[in-house]
Structure 1
Amino acid sequence: MTVLPLSLAAMCDLACEPSLLPRLRMAIAVIAQEVFREDPATPGYPLRWNLARTALSPSTEQAAQMAPSLLVTPALLAAASSAASPAPPAMAAAITDEQILDAIRQGWNILAGVSPSAASSQQPQNGT
């Protein structure tokens, strides 16, 4: 059984935090650019590229849709739970830009619909 460092209500509040969503939007666009530079032989590349194409100019709604799957990564949960205050703005501020970028890199295959078996057959090129 998974033990969560934050309650589901706190995670929901964090996922809806207005100061976090613009950061997620920018990070999604950065990772989309990284995916465009990948070798087309990267496992799952067509799905990865398609998500990058649709996420190149991510809307607030798209960032909000991706937020829950990104914010439940162990690094982001740990950062948010280490905030000096349980208030969503404080938890959002405790998450670094690099942690957000890493969470998106790590979650890109899942968000794109790449199967775990295809993704594990070879690591993606260019660090994404």
Structure 2
Amino acid sequence: MTLQIEAALSLHPLFRQRVHMGFLRVAQEVAVEPPSVPGNPVRVGLARAVHQPDLASPGYAAVVAAHPAVAAAARAAHDPAVPDAANTAVSDAVLLDAVRALWNQLCGFHPAPAGFTGE
């Protein structure tokens, strides 16, 4: 049932709008990062790309809905009789944390694990 709840949440119009706003807010944070931040060029590239109006497409909303913290909040509040329950249960803070946590993955930057020396 978890995937069904995540899928429904990712298609909820208000959730999709909130995801879009979350990406715009995090894009502002990334845009002012110093160039020394690992992965800066691709991180900034995604920040520029989020200004495209289709960011609220189900693709991004689905990725955010599948984030463990978002999915847990939605699952806990899911009520088929209350269509907005799962969306309402996902706080703005949880949504923004999910976007921040997913940023590197979505822009294609995969930092080396701690302690990796390249050998």
TM-score (norm 1): 0.79
Any unmatched runs of 5+ in structure 1? 1-5, 122-128
Q: How many pairs are equivalent?
A: 112
In the alignment, structure 2 segments of 5+ residues that lack a partner are 115-119
Structure 1 residues 68-120: Cα deviation after superposition (integer angstroms, max 9, x where no partner): 11111111011101116245421011000011100000000001000242xx5
Give the one of 19, 23, 27 matched to 1:24.
19
Q: Give the share of equivalent positions with the same residue, in percent.
A: 36
Distance in 2 between the 1:114 and 1:88 partners?
36
Off by >6 Å, runs of 4+ in structure 1 = none
| Contact 1:79–1:94, Cα closer than 8 Å, also in 2 | yes
Tell whether 2:4 aligns with 1:41: no
**Quick check: which has more Rg, 1 or 2?**
2
Q: Is the 8 A contact 1:28 1:58 kept in 2?
A: no
Change (3 A) 1:63 1:84: closer
Q: Distance in 2 between matches of 1:49 and 1:14?
A: 28
In structure 2, the partner of 1:97 is 92
Q: Which residue of 1 aligns with 2:117?
A: none
2: distance between equivalents of 1:9 and 1:83? 14
